[in-house]
Chains A and B, each alone.
Chain A
């Protein structure tokens, strides 16, 4: 029986049963990236929660099943974590003294990552805002 084990930096016990100590262990699969992709969405100037509208984009992964994915939303030099369903709600500038934000729903099907964004707040309007969504698609199914 051949087993390949590679310890992380600082670890010394090659016989450890704590697999978290290993950088790689041949009895356990690594998370492998199958594809990466990105898409941009613009929240147009004047858009408001009161309009009831939303804006959408799609990133194709083409895997034929719903994969695990790591996603991030970039806006104005900030990259927001969007892991699993932990979709961000991002504060936006507003000139009216009330907060305006952008809320996301990021969902995957067997072909695509589907991104929806809508403005939040109490009727205040957003400026023209661009968001870039980036995703790493993992080779393993999550559903």
Chain B
């Protein structure tokens, strides 16, 4: 039996000839399958523990609400960071009683294909090769399940923050969604976190914030460096923080 073909192209495009990168969906790829998207509040010490109970370490990521309606991801995690074990996810927030949006994927961090979970749901389910979508129940054995779906891409955008010396600088981009979207940002070629002589007041920091109108990228520098353009490379998703 030949391998099944299931490809979805955007309207006006031919699914059989369109470059894989431009397809909406292709059964030849694996996906980060969303198990749960949830909003919690850290405790009075800024700690948050989320019990996932999966028995393996899931892939996950999070944002926190730094002020009302404004969500943030510093581009360095600080000491401790956010981590998961086979039962819980542990997240520290800079301030107590802070809202946190967490996306938990069914994928384990090592992308292993396990069994024993009963968490596959949805009207459309596509199992990985060798597994039967009608009988499998563990999401790790699926390429897709519509219960939680997968991340959907709005656009890619480079936001450049131009510094003119030491100080705080920012640049915004209007995403036009009317809600707070998930945004992934990467700055290539940068050492982050940047360790300089902090005790002597020399430091540099990068972060970005998202609200229901815009993405704002921030640079703080006290390095005494000349004017510099910093590129924040963003993928704006249609999936929601808030």
Contacts and interface: CB of A to CB of B under 8 A. Distances in A.
Given A8-B146, A85-B75, A68 B235 contact: yes
Nearest to B151: A31
A84 B152 contact: no
Interface in A1-32: 1-4, 6-9, 18-20, 22-32
B184 A29 contact: no
Interface string A30-60: 1111101010000000000000000000000
Interface residues of B, number: 76
Interface stretch (B93-101, B121-129, B166-174, B221-229): B121-129
B220 interface: no
Contacts of B4: none
Contacts of A68: 184, 186, 235
The A interface, classified by DSSP as helix, strand, loop or mixed, is strand
A141 B29 CA distance: 16
B73 A89 contact: no
Contacts of A139: 20-21, 29
B79 A101 contact: yes
B193 interface: yes
Contacts of A101: 79
Contacts of A83: 61, 73, 184
Contacts of B83: 78-81, 88
Contact of A6 (B20, B32, B60, B149): B149
Interface stretch (B39-47, B107-115, B132-140): B107-115
Contact of A19 (B62, B152, B195): B152
A142 interface: yes
A134 B122 contact: no
A3 B11 contact: yes
Interface in B170-189: 179, 181, 184-189
Given A7-B146, A89-B80, A26 B188 contact: no
Interface of B: 8-11, 20-26, 29-32, 57, 59-62, 73-86, 107, 109-111, 121-124, 144-154, 156, 158, 179, 181, 184-193, 195, 206, 231, 233, 235, 237-240
Interface residues of A, number: 60
A134 B111 contact: yes
B76 A86 contact: yes
A46 to B, nearest CB: 21
Contact of B59 (A4, A6, A70, A78): A70
A18 B122 contact: no
Contact of A140 (B32, B82, B235): B235
A129 interface: no
Nearest to A86: B77
Contact of A32 (B11, B29, B62, B145): B29
Given A28-B154, A31-B153, A72 B80 contact: no
Nearest to B78: A89
